[in-house]
Amino acid sequence: MPEFFWRAVDAQGQVQEGRHEAASVPATQKWLRSRHLTPLEIREPQSSDAQGREVDKASGLAALAKGGGRRVGKGPVTQADVLLLTSELSIMLRAGLALDNALRVLIGMSHKPSVAALTQSTLEDVKGGTPFSKALGKHRALFGDFYINMIRSGEVSGQLSSVMDRLVEHMERLRALRENVVSATIYPAILLGVAVLSLIAMLGFVVPQFEKLFNDMGDALPLPTRLVMGLGHAFTSYGLVIGAVAFFVGTGAWRWFKSPVGRSWWQHKVLRLPLLGRLTLKYELTLFSRSLGTLLGNGVPLLTALRIATDTVTNDVLRGALSGVGPMVKEGSKMVDAISATGIFEPLAINLIRVGEETGRIGPMMLELANILNRDVEVGIKRGLTLLEPLLIIVLGLMIASIIVSILLGILSINDLAV
């Protein structure tokens, strides 16, 4: 029977370690819970050498609870840190650990000083009698209204552990959606970079090698050859100037797009693009639907949930359209009518919301809508890449081929003159 190394916390938040012979990891977990211990880590040694190393490390396992078992990170608290913190806290609460004890353990397990300081501040507030949601409200810029209202609903209903589980699921789904979108842009960006570098290499190094050969030809050279030679000469003579101008123009454009005016202009334009516009719309509505469904499923009032879910939308145009839903519902309109008035939801979405409103299950219907939209976004990204990747390759090939053909035309014209 294998021997498992385990690390767990007791009801007082103290970390304990040891070994236990069991048939499997679940059996070890059951054994630990029977002794009122919350498992943090269970490992089986791979060999006798590994077991020996674990024995040597036994005296230092306690340091794991103080961060010794993790790589120490630097910098401020990120959304990835918030997700990790939420996931670990959810596990401890689900296992029956008290909130203050769970926070105390998380302080020792923190891999960043900034995360440890955040958790310590929250623990001190909770120990002082402040509700957990209000303690997190002091860091609203980091956690956001959605997170804080979810925690508040868990406190009111007495189901903080279940709410934390839903929070983790919601955050992981949104992270997966964003990562799919980011990952989809990596390969086209690489192809575009290769195209730019190839163009620079051809104009800066290859074309100038033929300049002396074509100097005496003058107007006798074919027009494509003269154009390519002119571009190569300009690139070698004014390359630094061209690079500096491109840098400043790119920096200025980037800052303008980041400004309210530039962002609004781009967000209006992107929604009108044939393929990208529909993908952007469905992506934003996925964020709205999932946030609204999760909030309603945890007992957050409809008007509050609508306001918070609207704030999760990043496109100003769509956010402006959705911001009118709450006031209409407050004035007595049905939610399906308010949603229809925005003009941005498809008939399927409107029918799902109508069914949810009639059956009193708006929350589950919004989550179902989010799943449908999420699948549409993933399929749309795949189809877009299927069209974009060969298009970029063709453009790259045509750019290089046109330069090569222009040079060959010049060489052939020299041979014709020689004859």
Residue 387 tokens read as: 């069209």
* Whole-number pLDDT of residue 79: 85
Segment 367-417, tens digit of pLDDT? 899 899 988 988 888 888 788 878 888 888 888 888 888 888 877 777 665
Would strands 15-21 and 38-43 be described as parallel, antiparallel, or unpaired? unpaired
Q: Could you tell me the CATH number of the domain that includes residue 92?
A: 1.20.81.30
Same domain? 238 vs 346 = yes
Q: Are residues 228 and 304 in the same domain?
A: yes
Q: For the beta carbon of residue 273, count every other beta carbon within 10 angstroms.
A: 11
Tens digit of pLDDT at every position of the chain (419 positions): 778 888 777 666 667 788 888 888 778 877 887 777 777 778 765 543 444 443 333 333 333 344 444 445 577 888 888 888 888 888 888 877 788 888 888 887 777 888 888 989 999 998 888 898 899 988 888 888 888 888 888 887 778 888 888 888 888 888 887 787 788 778 888 888 888 888 888 888 878 877 777 766 655 678 888 888 888 878 888 878 888 998 999 899 999 988 888 888 888 888 888 888 898 899 889 889 988 888 888 888 899 889 888 888 888 889 889 999 999 999 988 999 999 999 899 999 999 999 998 998 998 999 899 899 988 988 888 888 788 878 888 888 888 888 888 888 877 777 665 54
216 shares a domain with 271: yes
- By CB atoms closer than 10 A (0-12, 13-18, 19+), residue 317 is middle
For residues 22 and 134, membership in a common domain is answered with no
Residue 333's alpha-carbon distances to 58, 110, 271, 357, in angstroms, are 65, 48, 28, 12
Asked if residue 145 and residue 46 are part of one domain, the reply reads no
Cα–Cα dist 36/278, whole Å: 52
Gap between the Cα atoms of 327 and 140, Å rounded: 24
Q: Which domain holds residue 250?
A: 160-419
Which string of DSSP letters, residue by residue, matches 328-361? HHHTT--HHHHHHHHS-S-HHHHHHHHHHHHHT-
Say if 295 falls within a structural domain: yes
User: For residue 47, is it within any domain?
Assistant: yes
**Residues 213, 414 contacting (CB under 8 angstroms):** yes
Residue carrying structure tokens 């189809």: 383
pLDDT given for residue 229 in this prediction: 82
- Whether residue 183 is contained in a domain is answered as yes
Q: Is residue 72 part of a domain?
A: no
pLDDT at 63: 38
Are 252 and 376 members of one domain?
Answer: yes
Residue 180 in any domain: the answer is yes
Task: Please indicate, yes or no, whether residues 203 and 132 belong to a single structural domain of this protein.
Answer: no
Residues in contact with 41: Cβ distance below 8 Å, sequence separation at least 6, in sequence order: 5, 6, 7, 64
The model's pLDDT over 275-317, given as tens digits with 9 standing for 90+, comes to: 888 988 998 898 899 888 888 888 888 998 898 888 888 888 8
**Is the residue at 310 inside a domain?**
yes
Cβ within 8 Å of residue 122, ≥6 positions away: 103, 132, 135, 136
Rounded Cα–Cα distance for residues 35 and 42 (Å)? 15
Residues 293 and 252 occupy one common structural domain: yes
Q: Do the domain assignments include residue 387?
A: yes
Is residue 416 domain-resident?
yes
Same domain (yes/no): 217, 133: no
User: What are the beta bridge partners of residue 20?
Assistant: 4
* Domain final position from 13, 41, 66: 66
> Which residues lie closer than 8 Å to 347 by C-beta, 6 or more apart?
none
Say if residue 38 is in the same domain as residue 180. Answer: no
How many Å is the Cα radius of gyration of the chain?
A: 30
Quick one: pLDDT at residue 216?
61
Last residue in a domain, options 159, 183, 212: 159
Residues 296 and 348 in one domain: yes
pLDDT at 60: 37
Looking at the structure of the chain, the number of domains it has is 3
DSSP state of 131: -
Q: At what angle do helices 302-311 and 276-297 cross, to 10 degrees?
A: 150
List beta partners, residue 5.
19, 43
Domain boundary among 142, 159, 176: 159
Matching residue, tokens 């709410």? 163
Residue 251: enclosing H or E segment and its boundaries? helix 223-258
- 118 sits in which H/E element: helix 113-127
Residues 111 and 14 in one domain: no
pLDDT at 368: 92
Q: What angle do CA 190, 194, 198 make, to 5 degrees?
A: 175
pLDDT at 13: 60
